[in-house]
Every structure is written in C-alpha cells, then in structure tokens.
Structure 1
Amino acid sequence: MGAAIALCVLASAVNAEAFPDRPINIISPFPPGGATDVITRVVADAMSRQLKQPMIIINKPGGGTTIGAAYVAREKPDGYTLLMATSSTVVASRFLYKELRYNPDAFEPVGMVGYAPMIMLTSKKRGFRSTADLVDYAKQHPGALSIASQGTGTLSHLIAECFQATTGTKMVHIPYKGTAEAMPSLINGDVDAFYDTVGTGMAQVAGGKVDVLNSSGRQRMSAYPQIPTLTEQGYRDCEVVAWWSLLAPAGTPSDVVEKLQAALQFAMRDEAVRRKVLDAGTEPADGLVAGYKELVKKDVETTGRLIRQAGVVVQ
C-alpha cells in the first residue's frame, strides 16, 4: 500500500516537471471577435512562447459565460484546460442561476489580466447626443427603446438594468451571445442601445457606425476623456468595472499552477502585449494572483446590490 502511494506521488511529480508536454486549451466564454476573445488570443500567444507549447483558443459562448465556465470546471485538473473568466463568470453568475453548474469559488486562480469600464453605445438611427437625450425620450416613451446585452447575467446586462432603475426608465432587454452578435444589430438599428467593452465599442464609434453616451467607470478614461461617466451625471449606483482573470479547474497541482502563473506574468510584462490589451480598451493587469480573492469578495457585495436594485430575475 505504501509503495503504491509512493509511486502515485512520484508520478505526479514527474508529470508536473514535464508540464506542459502538449498544447493547452483556453476556453473563451464568448464568441470570436469580442473583447474577451481578443484579449485571450493576445495573452495566449505570449504565454505559449514562454511555455513552449501552443495555446489553443476554444470559444464556448452562451449562458452569460456559464457554459464555458461549467465546461472548464468539469475538465481534468491537469493544467491543460483553462478559462478566461470575466467578473460575470465568477461574481454575477452566483446570483442569477438557481442551479449553477460550477462553484465560482472553486477555480484555481492563475492571475489577473485586465480591467475596463463599460460604455453605452446607441444606434445612429436614434440620434441621441447625450445620456439626458436618451433618458428624456425613454421617460416619454416607456418600453419604446430596446437595449442589447452580451447575454443574460453578464456585466453588460447588469449595467443596462441598473441604468434603467436609477434613471427611472424602462427599456426592452435583448440578450445576445456576446458583442460579435449584438453589434451588427445595433449598427443596423434593430436595437437602440448597448453596454459594450471599450475596445470593440470605440472601434465602431471611430468608424462612425454608432454613438457613445457614457461609461460605467469611476472617472473618465485617459484614452477617451470625451466620454462622461454615469457617476458625474448623478447616477452613482451604476459605477462598476469589468475584469478578466485566467483560471484553472479546482484541484490543479500547485506546481502546474505556478508554471502557468509564471507564464502569465511573463506575458503581462511584455510591452507589446500590454499595448494590444490597452488597444482593446482594457487596462492591463500585472498577471499576479494577489488580491484576486479580495476583488471577488468586494464585487460580490457590489453586484448583489446591483442585481437587487435592478430586479433581475433568477433563472
């Protein structure tokens, strides 16, 4: 019996030493083309150079990021399947689903990737020039406007609901499976508004295809100082920032996690990576895991309040 245990320990040590000896999959819980997908690919490319193995991006959208998260949670905890999680995946999901198919607190954190506010985009067909314009119209025509989201339970959805609750307006929520699906509808005027991430949203603003009215951050962004915050317009309850973190399944060996952490930190120190993440409208993090649990705890309190205020229905 003792010999068998010794053999298992030895085999585990050898496997950790050899890690990685084959490609690593990173699950992106959104469709291709959105901010999460762009950031995942940039970071994975740099990590693969450090780990000397390819990192393959697999998109598993839907369920407000819970489909991709549940998939990773079920995978063998060997370091070969990772999740590019968002604040929606780890925080909002626990409030929105009665039967969540994973424990959001059970993942092994590899490290932080980035932070970003959300921005309100509107259809050119409506011609709104300010938040006040939209609020005035929505109050005069309850239910006449529609607002898209990246999916039920995502931060995009929660801010949209919070916006309505704090402004006293009523809009029809149209959930999509990420920005890649929602943006064409906004450009075409099929929906009237949409809270999106900065990188993908501002690309469409720059192209003259949509308008931008506000951001959900505490202060104006240095890259886009022309965008007013909701806070400065008196809507402080909707102050919230999205974040991204690389996670591994619960039970992943510590030696393997440490190698992944070192690779992520290597990637996040790369100036080219940081520039590309910033170009995606996201403030790059340092790749460290320090502060992750505290951030989740703080956001659980904030998000719980947002959900209660917005009256989002648990599924």
Structure 2
Amino acid sequence: MPKTFKLAAAVLACAVALGAAASEYPQRPITMVSPFPPGGATDVITRAVAKSMGASLGQPVVVVNRPGAGTTIGGAYAAAQPADGYTLLMATNTTIVGARFLYKDLRYDPDRFEPVGIVGTAPMVLLSAKARGFRSTDDALAYARQHGQNTRIASQGPGTLSHLLAECLQSAAGLKMSHIPYKGTAEAMPALINGDVDLFYDTVGTGMTQAQGGTVDVLHATGPARMSTYPDVPTVAQAGVKDCQMQAWWTLVAPAGTPEAVLARLRQALQETMQHEEVRRSIASAGTEPADGRVQGYREMVSADVEKTGDLIERAGITLQ
C-alpha cells in the first residue's frame, strides 16, 4: 500500500476512534474543579451545577476544591489535565482575567480554555465590622484617612476580584490601607466578624446573609444599578467611589483541545441544568443572577473585562510578590 494511503488510513482511523469516544462520552465520573475553598459562593454554585449535570450526563460529577493563589492553583490544575472532558473548571473572572496581569509565572494560558457556558453574574458588596459602627462608605473612608494603614481590608485572596476592588477603593479615595488576604470567604468572614479586619469585599450571597443576621454592616454594592433584592444598598457610584463598578462572573470551562463533540454534549447538559428551578434557586441563594448556560457572549465578556481590569491594575499600581 502506498505511503500516502497508509497515512490517510491512519488519520481516518484516529478520527473514527475520537468520534467513537466522543459519542460514548461520558463513560466514567467527571471532576469539576472549584478554585475556592468550601463554603463560599463559588463552591455553592459549583456543587449545584455539578449535581444536576451529573444527572443529565448519566455519570457523577465530583466537585474538587483546589483553592489558593487567587484561583490560579485550581486554574493550573484543570489546564494540565487531559482534554477529554473528564476535568472541568468553574472559572471566575479572577481565573480568566485578573490572573494574567498579576502573576508573572502563570502556569496556564487563560485564553486557551474552551468555554462550556456562562453560569452567572453578581456584584460584590463592601462589608464592615460591626464593632466599627460604620453607616456609610464615607464613614469607612473617614476612619481610613484617620488611621491610615492601621485600617485593615480583607480579600478572598491575592489577585481575586475582592482584592482588585479593595485596591480600587483605596486608589479612588486616595488613601492606603493594609490588605489582608485570606483563602476565600470561609476564612475572611470570621476575621471580619471578630474585628480582626475592618472591611471586606464579598459576594452578595454570603455577604448579605451575614448583614441580615446582624453580624456585619453592608456599605455598597459594585453593580451598575441597585440590586432588586436589596434596594436599600447603594451602588458604589452612589456611594461616591468612582470607576470601581465591577461584577463577578462564573463560567464553566474545559482544557484546550477538548473534542468538539464532547464540548457539544457538555454544553447541552449545562443548558439543561440552567433551566432547572432548583439549580437556579441554589445559584440565586449565593447572591448570583443565574445565566442560561450558553456560551454566546463569553469572548466579548472576557475582552471587556481584560480592558477594564488591566486599566485598574495599572492605575492602582497593584502587584503581587
């Protein structure tokens, strides 16, 4: 048989094998990585989506928490796995956008992930320790001006949106506080409640739950308009802080090179998942507006955030050691 025919036959055999594997997908449990520790909004969202997608796909979807380094530990782990559809990542804008500016030795290319679909979006809320007695953002900033770097502002970790907003607040107000990074809300919230830190940007779900329980005060939210569920909370712009309007988002992604047939099956399962009322309620309970699970608009969302985040990081002079 001529070499050209042998090569063509080999290519065809590979294509058939890949197609067969994709058509039979999934044949075993799937891992869904959450880049935050248990207890926060990302973990709640990931577990709700994983449970429902498992039912749709006919195989368990197991959540694995790999927190740390501003979500980049989880991002690097997921990116390094085989592109076979058996490892997925619940990526945030920190994983896909912020990390590229803040980590010189980032161990993955954020643009090479294959998007499965958008899961949800949410503003962040600025919380203050109850003991401080702040009733507004102005109160908090007046305290910070008086106490300087003795004012402690927590974040969910270096490079997270919580951190970026903390730096944006300081830059906009023309002052400097001490940034205290934690590994997610599960660590940062107790520190705020205990008065170990003074301020903390958190996701709406956990933040407003604590505020309604009387353990912390909420000063503003970072969305473009007041939240319909919490209309008494002013926006960051209404609180007098300029150019700090930013929202968190969650998108399910797969490693680069995942077969199109596998991606199509995953996208179908995610869209089915995002139609389930139980899933939407769980996501909403985390203070997040559920999306429809579609992939459309993902690239545009990332592009817009890259421009805005890059400008913020440069303006605020944010660097990570």
How would you bin the TM-score normalised by the shorter chain? Answer: over 0.9
Tell me the amino acid that sits aligned with residue 91 of structure 2: A
| Contact preservation (8 Å) 1:82, 1:247 | yes
Tell me the amino acid that sits aligned with residue 154 of structure 2: A
Deviation above 3 Å: which 4+ runs of structure 1?
Answer: none
- State the shift of 1:286 in Å: 0.7
Equivalent of 2:181 in 167, 175, 187: 175
- The alignment's C-alpha RMSD in Å is 0.9
Distance 1:233 1:196 in 2: 17
- State the shift of 1:3 in Å: 2.9
1:241 is matched with 247
2:294 is matched with 288
Tell me the amino acid that sits aligned with residue 183 of structure 2: K
| Contact preservation (8 Å) 1:139, 1:168 | no
Distance 1:299 1:193 in 2: 24
Distance 1:179 1:164 in 2: 21
Distance 1:168 1:56 in 2: 45
Equivalent of 1:272 in 278, 282, 288: 278
Q: What is the TM-score of this pair, normalised by structure 2? A: 0.96
Q: What is the TM-score of this pair, normalised by structure 1? A: 0.98
2:237 is matched with 231
1:55 is matched with 61
1:119 is matched with 125
- State the shift of 1:88 in Å: 0.4
Unpaired segments of 5 or more residues in structure 1?
none
- State the shift of 1:6 in Å: 2.3
**What CA deviation, in whole Å up to 9, does each residue of 1:153-186 have, x standing for no partner?**
0000000000011012221000111111111111
Superposed, 1:1-315 pairs within 5 Å as 1=6, 2-315=8-321
Distance 2:210 2:239 in 1: 24
- State the shift of 1:20 in Å: 0.5
Unpaired segments of 5 or more residues in structure 2?
1-5
- State the shift of 1:236 in Å: 2.7
Residue-pair matches, total: 315
Distance 1:227 1:279 in 2: 17
- State the shift of 1:314 in Å: 4.3
